[in-house]
Amino acid sequence: MDIRSLIRVPILLVGFMLTFIFLSIAPLHADGFVIGKSPKMKGFDYIDETQQNAYINYSDGLQRMILTIGIASAETDRVWILPIPSAPQDIVLDILREVPEFSGDELSRNTASKLHGIRKALLAMQIYPMLFRFKEDYQYREYGYAQGIATKSNVLEDSTVIVHQHVEKEGMVSEVLTARNAEALYNYLEILGFKINTGAIPILDTYIGKEFSFVVSWVEKSEINRTAYTEKGVFVIFPTPTIYYPLIPTSVYDETWVPTTITVIGHVTPRFYGRIKGFAFAEYFVWGSIWSATDLSVFHNGENKRVNYTKIEIDSPSKYLTEDLYIDNVTPLKVRLSLFILSYPFISGLILLCLTSVSIGLILGFLLLEGLRRKPWALIIIGLSNCFTIIGLIAATYLFQTAKVTDNTVPIIKQLRETGYLKRKRYAEYLFIYGITVIFFGIFVGITDKVFTGYHPLEIFLFFVLPAFALAQVPWLLKINEKDKQLISEIKQKEGKAAVAFNIYGVEKITFIISFSLIYVITSWELIEVLIPYLVYTYHP
**Neighbouring residues of 457: CB distance < 8 A, sequence distance ≥ 6:** none
Return d(Cα 24, Cα 125) in angstroms, integer: 14
Report the pLDDT value the prediction gives residue 475, as an integer from 0 to 100.
84
Closest among 87, 33, 68, 356 to 201, alpha carbons compared = 33
For the beta sheet containing 269-270, the strands, ordered from the edge strand earlier in sequence to the opposite edge, are: 243-245, 325-328, 269-270
**Contact assessment for residue 535 and residue 341, using Cβ atoms and an 8 Å cutoff:** yes
Contacts of 38 (CB under 8 A, 6+ apart): 45, 47, 75, 76, 77
Secondary structure of residue 211 in the 3-state scheme: coil
Per-residue buried b or exposed e for 95-110, using 16+ beta carbons within 10 Å of the residue's own CB: bbbbbbbbbbbbbbbb
270, 323, 293, 341: which is closest to 149 by C-alpha? Answer: 293
pLDDT per 10-residue tile (average), the chain, 541 residues = 40 41 34 51 46 90 85 57 92 89 90 89 80 47 31 43 89 87 80 65 78 85 54 86 90 73 95 87 92 86 92 88 92 93 92 96 90 89 90 82 59 69 77 81 68 71 87 83 70 52 60 91 91 72 54
Helix or strand run (H / E) with residue 51: strand 49-59
Q: For position 249, what pLDDT does the model report?
A: 79
**In 3-state terms, what secondary structure has residue 48?**
coil
Distance from C-alpha of 111 to C-alpha of 499, rounded to nearest angstrom = 50
CA distance 25 to 72: 21
